[in-house]
Amino acid sequence: MSWDQLPILISGAGIAGLLTAQALKRLEIPFIIFDRDESVSSRGQGWGITLHWALNDFLSLLPENIQHKVFKCQVLEDFHLNDSGNFVYINAGTANSLVHIPPSKRLRVRREQIRKTLLEGIDVNWSCKTMEVRATDAEVTVLCENGRTFTGKLLIGAEGSNSATRRFTNPDNYQLYDLPVRFLGSTVILTHEEYEEVSKHFDSLLFQGTIPSNDTFFWFSLLSSPAHNGTNFYECQVNFSWNCPNKTAEKFDTVEDKINVIKRVSSGLNENLMFLRDKMVAASDRFMEIRLSDWPYADFDDKQGKIILIGDACHAMVMYRGEAGNHAIADVKLFIDLLEKCRKQEISWPEMIRAYKDDVKARAGPAVLLSRQACLDAHNWEKLKDFQLNKSPLLALRKK
Ligand SMILES: Cc1cc2nc3c(=O)[nH]c(=O)nc-3n(C[C@H](O)[C@H](O)[C@H](O)COP(=O)(O)OP(=O)(O)OC[C@H]3O[C@@H](n4cnc5c(N)ncnc54)[C@H](O)[C@@H]3O)c2cc1C
């Protein structure tokens, strides 16, 4: 059978799935993309992500009209034209900076808006949750919860960290590893004056730090400015994470429980930052808990060339180095380059699948563990406090 007689199936319309769809569309390779959600905005997933080392690859996979729109997704309008920000890591007890490094090329964007931008011209089959996968010698079929089925030449599992496809490719080890750390954040509203203060003392886009007295991690980031949200306010995220070796022992069920825990773990936060904690607690209706878990294998049974995993599905990692999305982009770029070679008959289909798997495993497998270590270090001030001496992957990448 000719390799492009059947479509490529993409399960999951996150950044990895949609970027793959855009790239396949450019190459005029048939594909079908589907997602469990009812629409792109049916689940609140509003956080910012920094595209840095994979930014050029990201743009290269998109048509020109969408490339332009990517720049409109920045949390601060046209910030890339004069990126005056720094990577700032502070002692969150004193508010003094531990690390203050000028940025490399980067784009800080709203994840939700990037997804909407990547949707342009792509027809996603919504409400199609992958439940079961069946592979034969010639094809692969996905059965969805709503009764629909899709059959293709290749299934790309792009369903994020809890990938359904991964259950099929890795029945014995698909489960995530939970880190002994708990994370809670919220979206808060800052006046112009409040935002200016934070921006002047720390950074316009984001900064992070650790409270030495209790090893709590603190993270501030901008989500949108008045120019985007049409109000007089700045939408920002305030997040905390803390060591929590026994999650069942910590009372964390109700909003009240959560507020109590946040008050406890944020004690020791510098007084000039406390207003952010107070705003976060006041915004308890927007609390967002993120399960800190990862999957370091980055390896899967491709069912004789019928299935691959990309993005978080293939290498879920915690966000303490801010690079999971960049790895997802690198996966897509790698796959598309190999697919083009395959189409030109420079390599065979099995060679393409093998090359993809080898590269992803070598690149992303160690990255998962570095992010895990970065997370643990972010909650260990003793290890972080001497920046010149420390070798933590939390700061190492930025040190270069
Ligand atoms: C707070 C936070 C900050 C981050 N900051 C950064 C950063 O600065 N830089 C960076 O590079 N990365 C960052 N990341 C990571 C980045 O957001 C992810 O790596 C990226 O979004 C993963 O994209 P994905 O497409 O693989 O998965 P997802 O975005 O999770 O998309 C998966 C899609 O699959 C769908 N789906 C799920 N199950 C099924 C199913 N059974 N059937 C069909 N569809 C399904 C979902 O609805 C979803 O649309 C951050 C993450 C968080 C949580």
pLDDT, tens digit (0-9, with 9 covering 90-100), for 118-156: 999 999 999 999 999 999 999 999 999 999 999 999 999
Mean pLDDT of the chain: 94
Nearest residue to 85 via CA among 76, 93, 94: 76
Residue of 105, 291, 312, 333 with the most ligand 1 atoms within 8 Å of its CB, for mutation: 312
Query: Per-residue pLDDT for 4 more than 90?
Result: no
Report residue 1's pLDDT band, with 50, 70 and 90 as the boundaries: very low
Protein residue with least CA distance to atom 27, ligand 1: 160
CA distance 89 to 95: 9
Nearest residue to 198 via CA among 255, 276, 142, 301: 276
Ligand 1 geometric centre to CA of 192 (Å) = 31
Report residue 208's pLDDT band, with 50, 70 and 90 as the boundaries: very high
Ligand 1 geometric centre to CA of 13 (Å) = 9
CA distance 278 to 27: 51
Ligand 1 geometric centre to CA of 12 (Å) = 9
Query: Per-residue pLDDT for 200 more than 70?
Result: yes
* Mean per-residue pLDDT, 171-188: 98
Q: What is the pLDDT of residues 20-44, one digit of tens each?
A: 999 999 999 999 999 999 988 887 6
Ligand 1 geometric centre to CA of 15 (Å) = 7
pLDDT at 400: 43
pLDDT at 397: 59
Contacts of 192 (CB under 8 A, 6+ apart): 226, 232, 233, 234
Residues forming a β-bridge with 34 = 11, 125
Look at the alpha carbons of 166, 169, 171, 176 in this order and tell me if their dihedral is positive or negative: negative
Q: What is the pLDDT of residues 73-128, one digit of tens each?
A: 999 999 998 887 678 999 999 999 998 877 678 899 999 999 999 999 999 999 99
Share of the chain above pLDDT 90, in %: 88
Residues with CB under 6 A from ligand 1: 11-17, 35-37, 47, 49-50, 111, 129-130, 158-160, 164, 290, 311-313, 319, 322-326, 328
Residue of 319, 368, 371 with the most ligand 1 atoms within 8 Å of its CB, for mutation: 319
pLDDT at 83: 81
Residue of 9, 15, 176 with the most ligand 1 atoms within 8 Å of its CB, for mutation: 15
Q: Which residue has the higher pLDDT, 347 or 391?
A: 347
Contacts of 232 (CB under 8 A, 6+ apart): 191, 192, 226
What secondary structure does DSSP assign to 42-59, as a single string? Answer: SS----EEEE-TTHHHHH
